[in-house]
Amino acid sequence: MSTMKKNSLFKILSFIAILATTISCSNTQKKGQMGMAGQVREYQVMKVEPQSTTLYEEYPTNLQGIQTVEIRPKIAGYIQDILVDEGSFVKKGQVLFRINDNDIRATVRSAQAQVKVAEADIVAAKINLDKTKPLVEKGIISKFDLESSESTLKAKEAQLAQAKANLANAQANLQYAIITSPTSGIIGNFPYRVGSLVSSSIAQPLTTVSNTMEMYAYFSMNEKEFLTMIKGLKGNNMQEKFSSMPDVSLILADNSVYGEKGRIQTASGLVDPQTGSVNIRATFPNKEGILRSGGSGLVRIPQHVESAIIVPQNATYELQGKHFIYTVGDGNKVHPTEIGVLVGNLKNNYVVTSGLKTGDEIVVEGIASLRNDMPIKPKLVTPNGSDDKKESGAEVKN
């Protein structure tokens, strides 16, 4: 055989060997892929069971002291002294401001002089009357002169009463120059400073005093929520029903929970026709003075539910504003199921209102890889994610 023929035969055999190797590898890869596709993956599955839980509803609130008093002057004058500082605590009767009283003192002295003049006039009128009476009795002068003397005395007595009234008014104004606190509480801002001319007609008060030993938290809820809240409460009237409610919490502006619990005490007797809401007031103790009038926050109202379906949030997904969860059906195949939930009541869970029933099995992990009618190998776990049955916490109990 010639060298050329040998080379050609060698090339043909090499090509056949390469082709066979390629076909073999391709078949092996396809078999491997078919084997992987045939495997059923294991997923953790939880059986739905009713649980007792405490739900929370939160409502924006505005805080006010139980008593907030505007301090206004009763007389006109220049502020002479400010004896307290903004934001300080004052007691009832403590002096806050002094208004310059030089003009008022002059008025008092003038009124005192008018009283003395009127008293002297009365003395003179009585002397004149005493002289007139015997002369009339003897017929020396007419009875008309006696009546005239009596009228003069009455006029002088009226003038004395008027002078005394003017003096009392001037003395009261002198007392009004010293402005005291009508209640114990926290001082507000000072829009006017020493030297400012003030009067009873000023636009802004000199300051405010807020009694903040207890704080009112005002909030509102719609009529349906209000009826749901009071339904089942014991009591013959609203006050008795409110007294049987659990304590409420206050969430401060920094999202921290206020250390003292409060109580709902009253609700408005009317439903606002424009908003359809009911105004409600809760009261919180404030002995440390942490809460301030005008502050904001959230009132958190607990509601205990004996039988509720609770599912983990990470077992659900949202599509076009609706919530879905994968349930396990016949042949261990999963199906997406729409559910209704109460959002925001529990930290990592949802309270299901529709779509699930007792005994349903749901997938609680890896839901991103699931598809409709996809078969799985279920691994049953308890609500806390373990194989042993335990309580899942203070908020949710089996």
Q: What is the mean pLDDT of the chain?
A: 84
Please answer whether residues 360 and 339 qualify as being in contact, where contact means their C-beta atoms are separated by less than 8 angstroms.
no
Under 8 Å between Cβ of 284 and 260: yes
Angstrom distances, CA of residue 52 to CA of 69, 110, 127, 234, 397: 47, 81, 97, 21, 5
Q: Note the pLDDT tens digit of each residue in 323-380.
A: 999 999 999 999 999 999 876 567 788 889 899 999 999 999 999 999 999 999 999 9
Q: What is the pLDDT of residues 230-287, one digit of tens each?
A: 887 888 888 888 988 889 999 999 999 999 999 999 998 888 888 889 999 999 999 8
Task: Compute the Cα dihedral for 184, 186, 192, 193 and give only its sign.
Answer: positive
Residue 179, pLDDT > 80, answer: yes
Q: Do domains 42-53+306-397 and 58-64+213-305 have the same CATH topology?
A: no
HSE-CB of 246 using CA atoms within 13 angstroms: 13
Instruction: Please give the structure tokens belonging to residue 205.
Output: 């008060």
Fold for 102-176, please state it.
Helix Hairpins (1.10.287)
CATH architecture of 73-97+179-204: Beta Barrel (2.40)
Over residues 51-96, the pLDDT tens digits come to 888 888 899 999 998 888 999 999 999 999 999 999 899 999 999 9
Tokens 């349906």 belong to residue: 224
Q: How far is CA 181 from CA 72, 78, 94, 98, in A?
A: 11, 19, 5, 12
CATH architecture of 42-53+306-397: Beta Barrel (2.40)
pLDDT of residue 288: 86
Query: What does the pLDDT look like over 149-178, one tens digit per residue?
Result: 888 889 999 999 999 999 999 999 999 999
Contact 77, 103 (CB under 8 A): yes
pLDDT at 225: 85
Contact 207, 71 (CB under 8 A): yes
Residue whose token pair is 């002479």? 80
Mean pLDDT, residues 369-396 taken together: 67
Q: For the chain, what are the domain ranges?
A: 42-53+306-397, 58-64+213-305, 73-97+179-204, 102-176
Whether 28 has a pLDDT exceeding 80, the answer reads no
Dihedral angle of Cα 208, 214, 215, 221, to the nearest 10 degrees: -140
**CATH class for the domain made up of 58-64+213-305:** mainly beta
Percentage of residues of the chain with pLDDT beyond 70:
85
Residue 193's contacts (CB-CB under 8 Å, 6 or more residues apart) are 79, 82
SS3 assignment, position 194: coil
Q: What is the C-alpha to C-alpha distance for residues 287 and 360, in angstroms, rounded to an integer?
A: 51
Cα–Cα distance, 130 to 107 (Å, whole number): 35
Q: pLDDT at residue 47 above 60?
A: yes
Segment 100-126 mean pLDDT: 92
Question: 144-153, pLDDT tens digit by residue?
Answer: 777 888 888 8
Residue 129 zone, left/alpha/beta (φ > 0; ψ -120 to 50; rest):
alpha
